[in-house]
Amino acid sequence: MVFGTSESWLSDEFEKPNSPIEVITIEATCVPSLKIELRESGVAESVIFPDLDGVGREMNQLWEERK
C-alpha cells in the first residue's frame, strides 16, 4: 500500500531515472504454478482479504484445482 497526499506520487517516482520501483511482468503460462507456490508459502486470498469474500474465493480456487 502506498499512502500520501499526492495522487501522482507513485507514477512520478516510477519515472525517475534511479527509481527503486520496477515493473514485473509475469507470463500467463506461469500464473497457475505461481498461485500454488504463493499459497504454499502462506500467501492466500484469506490472508490478503480476511473477510468472508476472501475465504470464499480461496475455497473456490482450491475446489477448482481439485476437479
Mean pLDDT over residues 56-60, rounded?
85
Taken in order 58, 59, 61, 65, the sign of the CA dihedral is positive
What residues have CB less than 8 Å from 2, skipping those under 6 apart? 9, 10
What are 16-53's pLDDT values in tens digits? 999 888 889 999 999 989 988 988 898 887 878 888 88
Whether the pLDDT of residue 4 is over 70: the answer is yes
What is the domain partition of the chain in residue ranges? Answer: 9-66
